[in-house]
């Protein structure tokens, strides 16, 4: 059996799915490329989150990449100048709500970025500078609960304003432009 694998830069305001069960007018991944039948996103990014998304027709590979064996790195622009105390709390694990239950996040790597990451401006402006400072953090996870990064940063008092997944294993977003799709023979995850 031949499998198909894709690396895409999911744009802001797109849903990580291909078909809708309703007639809602929303943007879907299937609008970006003529994907092979049976293509699924490996993990999801919510509508507001941009960045690296892997797609495949291989369910076993999808399961492996979603497992804790593969690290995912996110860049989050947060409201305010994030403190060392907040970074330590994020690193050590905090309680968030997942499906109505309290969930303790796993320990993870977190660091404040000295300069904003070299990523394209988002089409929709985040907000004006007159609203106060923002800062950027890198958060590396080996888990992926629904809206986890957003819940984590909000919990420590620095809500996420912009979120971008930059890396999955060894695959990085690099200079891919929003909406770009690359079909590849296989993913180099480094595991």
178 & 157 share domain: no
143 & 93 share domain: yes
Residue 28 has pLDDT above 80, yes or no: yes
CB-based burial, 103-127: b 16+ in 10 Å, e otherwise: bebeebebeeeeeeeebeebeeeee
Residue 142 lies in a domain: yes
- State residue 190's pLDDT score: 81
77 & 162 share domain: yes
79 & 151 share domain: yes
CATH of the domain at 101: 3.30.70.1560
Residue 150 lies in a domain: yes
Structure tokens at 14: 């797109």
140 & 54 share domain: no
CA distance 186 to 95: 36
Residue 189 lies in a domain: no
For the chain, how many structural domains are there in total? Answer: 2
- Give the range of the structural domain holding residue 148, as residue numbers without chain letter: 72-168
111 & 179 share domain: no
pLDDT digits (tens, 9 = 90+) for 73-86: 999 999 999 999 99
- State residue 23's pLDDT score: 65
* Residue 129 binned pLDDT confidence (cut-offs 50, 70, 90): low
124 & 135 share domain: yes
Average pLDDT, the chain: 91
pLDDT digits (tens, 9 = 90+) for 43-82: 889 999 999 999 999 999 999 999 999 999 999 999 999 9
DSSP secondary structure code for residue 176 in this structure = P
CA distance 152 to 136: 14
54 & 78 share domain: no
Name the strand (E) or helix (H) holding 155.
Answer: helix 148-155
- State residue 136's pLDDT score: 97
The catalytic site residues sit at 46
Residue 190 lies in a domain: no
27 & 79 share domain: no
CATH of the domain at 48: 3.30.70.580
DSSP 64-131: HHHSTTS-EEEEEEEES---HHHHHHHHH--EEEETTEEEEPPP-EEEEESS--S-PPPSS----GGG
24 & 105 share domain: no
Return the ∠ at Cα 127 (arms to 123 and 137), rounded to 5°: 85
- State residue 105's pLDDT score: 97
9 & 78 share domain: no
139 & 86 share domain: yes
CA dihedral 10, 13, 18, 22 (to 10 degrees): 170
Is the distance from CB of 25 to CB of 126 less than 8 angstroms?
A: no
């Amino acid at each position: 059996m031949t499998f198909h694998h894709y690396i895409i830069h999911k744009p802001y305001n797109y849903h990580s799915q291909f078909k809708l069960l309703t007639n809602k007018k929303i943007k879907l991944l299937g609008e970006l490329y003529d994907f092979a039948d049976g293509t699924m996103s490996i993990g999801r990014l919510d509508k507001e989150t941009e960045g690296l998304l892997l797609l495949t027709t291989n369910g076993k590979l999808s399961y492996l990449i979603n497992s804790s064996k593969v690290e995912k790195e996110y860049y989050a622009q947060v409201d305010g100048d994030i403190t060392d105390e907040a970074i330590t709390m994020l690193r050590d694990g905090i309680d968030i709500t997942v499906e109505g239950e309290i969930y303790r996040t796993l320990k993870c790597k977190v660091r404040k970025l000295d300069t904003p990451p070299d990523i394209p401006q988002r089409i929709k402006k985040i907000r004006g500078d007159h609203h106060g400072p923002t800062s950027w953090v890198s958060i590396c996870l080996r888990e992926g609960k629904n809206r986890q990064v957003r819940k984590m940063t909000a919990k420590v008092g620095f809500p996420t304003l912009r979120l971008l997944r930059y890396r999955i294993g060894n695959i990085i977003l690099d200079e891919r432009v929003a909406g770009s799709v690359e079909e590849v023979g296989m993913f180099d995850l480094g595991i």
